[in-house]
Structures are given as structure tokens and as C-alpha cells.
Structure 1
Amino acid sequence: MSDLTATIGLESPDLALTETVTYDESASVQPVTGAGTVPNAEGYLFTIRTADFDRFETALARDHTIDGFERVVDLGVEAVYSFEYSADATLFSPAVAAVNGVSLDWANDGTEWTVRVWLPDRPALAALREYAADHDIRFALQRVSDYATPGKAENSLTDEQREAVLLALEMGYFEEPREASLSEVAAELGISQPAAGGRLRRGLKRLVLSTLASETGDG
């Protein structure tokens, strides 16, 4: 199997810094480029944008996932902070590292965290989903594509079709032999088996029409 990139939405009150961005809704949090979300000698380094840094630091002091913090660089409109996580913090980055993956981008939209990761294969993606389930993290696969050839056709799908096709792919429905049945995919989607089958067929038809048919000039 080829390597891939995946964009994943994560949400849990115990994910590091979630309590802070819940209190300070204006806060935007991203790892410092090159530092990632794995620790170094200075701690976990993040670039922070917020309408009120005092409010942000008040939130940090109350956050059960944070044991300590320091504003190491102040650029006015943004600042670089070093964080020390508490034992109560749930971290997703170690799970990415455990499957030999790499976090390419990480940002928050309110209390939801969106992470884009490179992974060596699809079993690694399944392992991340299992890790999320084991740690009560809501896991939403938003996009997945081969690393070398990112998908062009996904915009032709409806959100429901995209969700069904990605989930079936992740669960191994398209493998030979199949690693998941249609009923299992339907159960994961929370819909009936006929509805899941129809959603997959329509989604796959759209993918074919927007890729193979367009490449050959057929309508």
C-alpha cells in the first residue's frame, strides 16, 4: 500500500489546550513550524493569536491539561508560548509517532482540532482511529489521499458520499479479501445497509465520472 495524507478532525475536553480555547474563543493555536507537537528542551512550542493575551493566560492557568507555560516571544499581534502538559492531558501526536507518521499541520477551529498527517499506510490510519476511540476523542476523517497524487475528484462528492467512501476505504471494505462488510460500514455511519450501499454506489459513480470519464473525454 502507498503512503497517504489524511486530514482529521479531533474533539475532546481532555485534549491539550481545549479548555483554554473554550474559555478564550478568539484564540488560534498552531505548533511552531519545525518544532511540531513533540517536546523539546523548551517544552511544547506554539504560536498563539488572540484578541486578549491576558484572557488567554487566565485560561491557561485554569486549564487542567496545562502544568506550566511561558510567553517566550511577544510579537504584538501574536506570541510564541512554551507549554508543559499535565498528566491529565490527552495527546494525539504520540499516536501519530507510534505508527511512524508525521504531523504536517495542526490548528484549532474553536474546540475542534484539525490535524493533517502523513502516514505510511492505511492500517496506520485505522490505528489512529482506534487510539481516538480508546481515549474518548471524537474522530472525523475529513480527507484522505495518496501522498504523491492528492485526490482531485473529492469536490465532486456530497459530504455524505465523501464520508461513506472514506470510511469504507479506512475500514477495508475495498480490500481483497474485504476487511469489513457493508453492514459494518453502515453501522459505523449510523444508517441502514441499503442506504449505505446506495451512498457508496453514487459516490463511486461520481468519482469515476469526474476522473476516468473526464480523462478520456467522455461526458
Structure 2
Amino acid sequence: MTEPDPSEIDDRQHDDHQPDDEPMVIFEFAVPAETLALEQPLAAFPDVVVELEQLVPTNNSPLPYLWTNEEQRPAFRTAVADDPHVDRIRKVATFEEGVLYGIEWADDADGLFDWIETQHEETAVLRARGHDDEWILQLRFPDRERLSEFRTFYEAQDIDLRPIRLYDLTDHMIGQYDITAKQREALLTALEMGHFAIPREATLEDVADSLDISARALSERLRRGQMALVSNTLMVGRPTGVGLGEQ
């Protein structure tokens, strides 16, 4: 599946027949680490995956915490502290599979991080994951007009942005894995009926009949649900095409 064309971002705002209840828009994209933050730490520790956590801001920063999958290594913490985008870092907690840091960000001089901070009341950061030499960000915009404003910003800043997926939020997404209610129902029904068991206890047609849909529709729903689960749990920094045209 092809990546979304950024030129499509502001197509709808000029539609005279656009409904008043325009859905929110999800835009997922990749940017070089140098564009956001932690370029040197991510390059020096390519096995480390970091994820920023969004909270209700209390200090003008919507992303005050940094999760990592690395064991506690002083060298990594020192590298983060030396990053020009970071004012201060402190260890909050250590877990079996990673560390949680509190982080205070430096002024970004009108860069991408500064835009995220100034727009956080209208644009939500659903995901910000850094690995190796790039960040994958997923932003939720209240409408296409705000998305178009973001496009104007990153083009003016000459940010090397690579679109991954772009879709309207027309169906409720379940939890943090971006699966729809219909995909969740299909996956759980298939699991409960033994469709994923070895040996298989229920065919695709059996599960489809129980859901009163065609086998083809079920196959599509299962495939997209599985892609969403895998891409949001196991894959980092690779485009999937999940969410394009799927309701």
C-alpha cells in the first residue's frame, strides 16, 4: 500500500459541502531524530527504544516523561542530559524491562518540539517513539484545517517529514493499539471459537457466520486488526499502511 500523499492534507477544507461535524484526523509520520530531540543518544545506543508519554501538562510541557527499554545505564542517561533539547533529566522508576525518566525540555527555537508544546491544547500527541535515527509520531488534529496548518509549518521549516498513514477518526479506536470495535469483535470471536488454535477448531466461514458477515469481510477485518496490533506493539519505525480506508 502506498504512503499517503501530503498534498491531500488540505483537500477537504475547500469543500463547500463539508459537514459541520467534521471528524478528527490522525496523522502518523516519521522525522529524523535531529528534527525533534535525542539525536546523539539514539545514534549512540541503537538498541534503545524511547517513548515520550503525554500527560495533562502542569509545567507547559505535554511530554514530561520518557520511557526506555534499556537497562539502567549511566552512559545513556548522560547522553540524554547532554542533548541540546534537554534541560534536565531525572530517574523516576526502574522496571524489569526499562526505565522511566522525568524530563524537562529546553526551548526549541520554533522547531517541531516547540510547535507540539504550543499546540497541545488542540493537537494531541498519541504516540512519540524514537529509535536509531528517527522518531515516529502520531498526532490527532481536531479537523483538517488544523492539519493543513501543521503542513504549512513543517514545509516552512523544511522538515524532512515522511508520511506513514493519514485517516479520519470516524470509528472509535480501542485502547492504544488503534483497532476498531469491529476488528476487536472479529479478533475475539475468532480466538474464542478456536480459529487461531493448532489444529484449527473453527474455519473462517464458521467465524464469519457467527458474526453474520461474509468470509471475505472477516478476512479483511482480521488482517487489518492483526496489522494494527503488531505495528503498535512490535514494530518501530516502519510504515504499515494500517488505517487507510478501514472503518
TM-score by length of 2: 0.52
Cα 1:51–1:44 change in 2 (3 A) is same
Q: Which of 78, 88, 94 is residue 117 of structure 2 equivalent to?
A: 94
State the distance in 2 between where 1:94 and 1:58 align: 24
Residue matched to 2:147: 125
Residue matched to 2:85: 65
Q: Which of 81, 85, 102 is residue 82 of structure 1 equivalent to?
A: 102
**Residues 1:16 and 2:20 aligned together:** no
Paired AA for residue 44 in structure 1:
P
Contact 2:23 2:143 in 1 (8 A): yes
Residue matched to 1:46: 66
Same amino acid, percent of matched pairs: 19
State the distance in 1 between where 2:99 and 2:143 align: 36
Q: What displacement does 1:13 show? A: 1.4
Contact 2:91 2:100 in 1 (8 A): yes
**Residues 1:2 and 2:27 aligned together:** no
Contact 2:52 2:67 in 1 (8 A): yes
How many residue pairs end up in the alignment? Answer: 155
User: Is the partner of 1:143 in helix, strand or coil?
Assistant: strand
Q: What displacement does 1:143 show? A: 0.8
State the distance in 1 between where 2:165 and 2:135 align: 14
Contact 1:19 1:64 in 2 (8 A): no
Contact 1:24 1:59 in 2 (8 A): no
State the distance in 1 between where 2:84 and 2:124 align: 27
Q: What displacement does 1:95 show? A: 5.5
State the distance in 2 between where 1:105 and 1:130 align: 21
Q: What displacement does 1:88 show? A: 4.6
1:107-118 counterparts in 2 under 5 A?
Answer: 107-118=129-140
Gaps of 5+ in 2: 1-21, 174-179, 181-219, 224-243
User: Structure 1 runs of 4+ off > 6 angstroms?
Assistant: 150-153
Gaps of 5+ in 1: 156-206, 212-219
State the distance in 1 between where 2:68 and 2:33 align: 20
